[in-house]
Amino acid sequence: MATHEIALEQRTVHGHFSRELEPILTIDSGDTISFPTLDAGWGRGPPPPEAGERWQLEPQDPERDQGHALVGPVEVRGARTGSVLEVRVDEIRAGDWGWTWAAGGWESTLNERLRLPDLEGCLLEWTLDTHRGVARDQKGREVELRPFLGVIGLPPAEPGVHSTIPPRPTGGNIDCKELVEGSTLFLPVAVEGALLSAGDGHAAQGDGEVGQMAIECPLERVRLTLSVRDDLSLATPIARTPSAWLTLGFDEDLDEAMVHALNAMLDLMERELDVDRKEALALASVVVDLRVTQVVNRVAGVHARLELDVVERLRR
């Protein structure tokens, strides 16, 4: 299997999803792609004034590319509507800086409900020490580094331009902090060739991403192995992390997002444990955790989590 290096250039970076975007690269199933990413602000150097001149790219199209700076799309031979794209996260290496901006409420009434005094935002500037595995802000506070891609996704079947902000059944701005190095994400394919795009590096994030942004950062190196799966049928993304199975649900209503995630988890338990749906639900009430993935991307996310060691015990 081949590894393909992708450089950061205007032709390789875009800010929307569309089945009409020309692929920057066509690969075989099982091949690996390797690339750096920009931060959420389309930059690769820290915000001024600390860094002086900032290294950044301008969107290809100022009107269409107003979303996250994504590398891609990458076409995978053999991917077709109804198949599944397996995305194995082989490596994620963060850059050396990041930022978090909390700008008050992300809905019109939230400031008052959170007792925020005004709309003035708060900027945290982080230095990322990848050797120690910590991020340190301008006041000396440290948090653990757990870098991941906020956006891994495929375009929907509908033609036209689609925002990178809300997640969809084909993935996108999932913002799940558990999709770290060593995880595998499974995405339903809606268009021929899959057309995968990825970006939006996060150095660390809490479940919910409640202030609207994580530690936004560029990534020095990302390696993804892309494989077509014809033996799976999915309605929503699922993932296998180093420690757990995840099923992801998205909806404008948080309760509905939960239902989508739980339905997908019951499907997974039926497959993995060879049980009927009623038994899967009974077991899920004992061993499955529901977590709020994010609540700030217009469409809310919930993920259901089942530990891998629990799956092994239940198979006995």
* Domain boundaries along the sequence of the chain: 3-229, 243-314
In this prediction, residue 125 carries a pLDDT of 92
CB 87 within 8 A of CB 179: no
pTM, two decimal places:
0.94
DSSP per-residue string spanning 225-244: EEEEESS---SS-EEE-SSE
Q: Which CATH homologous superfamily contains domain 243-314? A: Acetamidase/Formamidase-like domains (3.10.28.20)
In this prediction, residue 63 carries a pLDDT of 80
Q: Is 27 exposed, middle or buried (0-12, 13-18, 19+ CB in 10 A)?
A: buried
Q: Strand 3-5 vs strand 32-37: parallel, antiparallel, or unpaired?
A: parallel
CB within 8 A of 47, min separation 6: which ones? Answer: 41, 54, 99, 125
In this prediction, residue 234 carries a pLDDT of 96
In this prediction, residue 117 carries a pLDDT of 67
Task: With H, G, I as helix, E, B as strand and everything else as coil, classify residue 190.
Answer: coil
- pLDDT tens-digit profile of 134-172? 999 999 999 999 999 999 999 999 999 999 999 999 999
3-229: which CATH topology? Answer: Jelly Rolls (2.60.120)
In this prediction, residue 57 carries a pLDDT of 81
- pLDDT tens-digit profile of 39-61? 988 887 666 545 445 567 888 88
Which residues of the chain, if any, have pLDDT below 70? 45-55, 103-112, 117-120
Q: What is the C-alpha separation between 127 and 176, in angstroms, rounded?
A: 22
C-beta contacts of 143-147 below 8 A and 24+ residues apart:
143/204, 143/215, 144/204, 145/94, 145/203, 145/204, 146/177, 146/180, 146/203, 146/204, 146/205, 147/92, 147/93, 147/94, 147/180, 147/181, 147/201, 147/202, 147/203, 147/204, 147/217, 147/219
